[in-house]
Each structure stands twice: as structure tokens, then as C-alpha cells.
């Protein structure tokens, strides 16, 4: 049988306005009320427990394994931070998280209308483990802060240096131009 692990008290999302994928211009705003409603929906069993997965789902590659689930949702920071426990994770994945997947990002349904007619303001569906991708909620504690997670003192200070969104957008534009040029060259060569 596979060795499983639990990581307790992982920050999932904070109240605030976040520039998340698919959010309206100006960002997606979550309030302490939204966070408490997410807990209420979770406790009511509106949907299955949120699964843990690697990265956000690309519809072309769905069907990846669940690497555990999120349970025991609760609020901290005066009701401004939603935390949960990562439960039934393969121990090898849990051990890699601080190194390979230090950040995370929730997936949720907003204003979800359940089959019974009730509308739920926020229902968590998954937590994506992030490696190289930046999370929308940049103020969550990194899982690199293992000392905090496991109550062990550490003797280092961590800073994060990232490229700005403008640099990322430029890199995407350059890659798209390169792809178009390559496609144009291969199309021309095959006709010639």
C-alpha cells in the first residue's frame, strides 16, 4: 500500500482583489464572507472534496490523477485567510512540494447553483500545485517555508525575485511570433 501524508494548515486563498486567469478587468475580489461561504459549501458536501493536482487543467489533457484532497477548511487571520489540510497525499509528492511545487492556486465555482436550487457564492473544486508558474494570490505562505508548516525553526531568510507580468507577456508574444514564422517556413518549404 502506498505511503500517504497529510500537510495541515495550508493557506489556500486570502480576501482581496486578485488578477486571476479568467477574472474580469480589475481583478477578482474575494471577501471574508466568500471565504466563510466556501467553508459552508464544503461542510454541506455541495460537491466532492477539492482534489489536489499538478497545475491547472488544460482541457486537452484532463484525466490526470488526484494527489489527495483538501479537507478541514477553516479561517485564520481574523477571517481573511482560508486554510485547509492536504490529506491522503502520496508521501513522495508531499516531500517534493517545498522544492518542486512551493506555491498553489485554487479552482472554484462562483455563484454555483446546485441541483437542489441553492446558490453558493464560492465552492472550491481543486487546488493546483504550482512550480514555475506564479500564483494569482502572491501573499500566501510558500510551502518552501517548511519550518513554519512543521513547527521546526529554520536559519535562513527567503526572498522571491520574479519577472514582472510585462516581461512574461513579451515572452509569450515572441514565442507566438516564432511559432507563426516556423509554420510559415515549413508551409512554404512543403509547397516548393
- Is the CB of residue 123 less than 8 Å from the CB of residue 112? yes
For the chain, give every domain's residue range: 4-161, 163-192
Non-local CB neighbours of 173 within 8 Å, separated by 6+ positions = none
- Is the CB of residue 122 less than 8 Å from the CB of residue 35? yes
pLDDT of residue 190: 56
Tell me the per-residue pLDDT of 119-143, one tens digit each, with 9 for 90 and over. 999 999 999 998 888 888 888 888 7
pTM of the model: 0.72
Amino acid at each position: 500500500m502506498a505511503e500517504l501524508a497529510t500537510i495541515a494548515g495550508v493557506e489556500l486563498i486570502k480576501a482581496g482583489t486578485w488578477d486571476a486567469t479568467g477574472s474580469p478587468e480589475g481583478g477578482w475580489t474575494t471577501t471574508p464572507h466568500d471565504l466563510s461561504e466556501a467553508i459552508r459549501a464544503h461542510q454541506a458536501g455541495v460537491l466532492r472534496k477539492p482534489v489536489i493536482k499538478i497545475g491547472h487543467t488544460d482541457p486537452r489533457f484532463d484525466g490526470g490523477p488526484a494527489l489527495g484532497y483538501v479537507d478541514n477548511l477553516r479561517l485564520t487571520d481574523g477571517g481573511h485567510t482560508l486554510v485547509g489540510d492536504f490529506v491522503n497525499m502520496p508521501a513522495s509528492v508531499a516531500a517534493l512540494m517545498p522544492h518542486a511545487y512551493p506555491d498553489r492556486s485554487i479552482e472554484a465555482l462562483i455563484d454555483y447553483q446546485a441541483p437542489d436550487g441553492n446558490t453558493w457564492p464560492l465552492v472550491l473544486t481543486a487546488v493546483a500545485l504550482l512550480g514555475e508558474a506564479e500564483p494569482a494570490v502572491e501573499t500566501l505562505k510558500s510551502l518552501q517555508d517548511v519550518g513554519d508548516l512543521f513547527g521546526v525553526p529554520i536559519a535562513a531568510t527567503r526572498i522571491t525575485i520574479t519577472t514582472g507580468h510585462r516581461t512574461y507577456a513579451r515572452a509569450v508574444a515572441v514565442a507566438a511570433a516564432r511559432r507563426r514564422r516556423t509554420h510559415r517556413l515549413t508551409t512554404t518549404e512543403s509547397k516548393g
